[in-house]
Amino acid sequence: MKKFLCLLLFLTSCATYEKYARYLDGFIGIDKVELIDAWGVPDKTYQLDKDTEYLTYKQSFQTYIPGNSYTNNYGTYSYTHHTPGYTVNEWCDTTFVVQKNKVTKWQTQGDSCVKY
């Protein structure tokens, strides 16, 4: 269990919002078609006016954290305790603003907008 927690800590320490922001900055200035080629069809679109469109991509992740068992020994008696596992739901919505068919900016919402 300790090895699993160390690995989890190592992996999450490498994932940062700053890396994700740098990745998204690489899409500034590209054509809308190139964006769709890279990201696929957006989950949601909003046409603000004839020149401005918002393309939103939704990502969700589910991680299961296993429970734990431990035993306490009291002389000749021992008691085993169990803690239940649980599921963690994380998400990230990334929205690109497209003006005159060029990506001009991006924004994110969610608790899991990170890149490794």
72 in Cβ contact with 78 (< 8 Å):
yes
With 0.85 as the threshold, say if the pTM is over it: no
Cα–Cα distance, 89 to 75 (Å, whole number): 42
Strands lying side by side in the sheet with 86-99: 44-47, 52-65, 86-99, 102-110
Residue ranges per structural domain of the chain: 2-110
Tens of pLDDT, residue by residue, the chain (116 residues): 555 544 545 555 588 999 999 999 999 999 999 999 999 999 999 999 999 999 999 999 898 999 999 888 888 888 888 999 999 999 999 999 999 999 999 999 998 999 87
3-state secondary structure of 66: coil
